[in-house]
Amino acid sequence: MLSNELFSVISSGIDRFSTKKYYATADIIGTSIGEGSDIEYETRESRANMQPVINSIWFAKMKNSIKHLFLNKEMSSFVDNSILSTGFYGLKCNEISFEYIASVVSAPIFEITKDRLSHGATQQGIGDDDMANITLLIPDDTILRKYHEATKGFFAKISNNILENKRLIAIRNFLLPLLMNGQAAIAE
Burial class of 97 by CB neighbour count within 10 A (0 to 12, 13 to 18, 19+) = buried
- Answer yes or no: is 146 within a domain: yes
- In a domain? residue 79: yes
The reply to whether 145 falls in a domain is yes
- What are the tens digits of pLDDT across the range 33-70? 998 999 999 999 999 999 999 999 999 999 999 999 99
Q: Has residue 1 been placed in a domain?
A: no
Mean pLDDT of the chain: 93
Residue numbers of the domain that contains 50 = 7-180
How confident is residue 3, by pLDDT bands cut at 50, 70 and 90?
A: low
* Residue 2 included in any domain: no
State the helix-helix crossing angle for 98-106 and 141-180, rounded to 10 degrees: 60
* pLDDT tens digits, 62-101: 999 999 999 999 999 999 999 999 999 999 999 899 999 9
Asked whether residue 185 is domain-assigned, the answer is no
In a domain, 186, yes or no: no
Tally of domains in the chain: 1
Share of the chain above pLDDT 70, in %: 98
Q: State the Cα–Cα distance between residues 13 and 122, nearest whole angstrom.
A: 24
CATH of the domain at 39: 3.90.220
Residue 20 inside a domain? The answer is yes
pTM equals 0.89
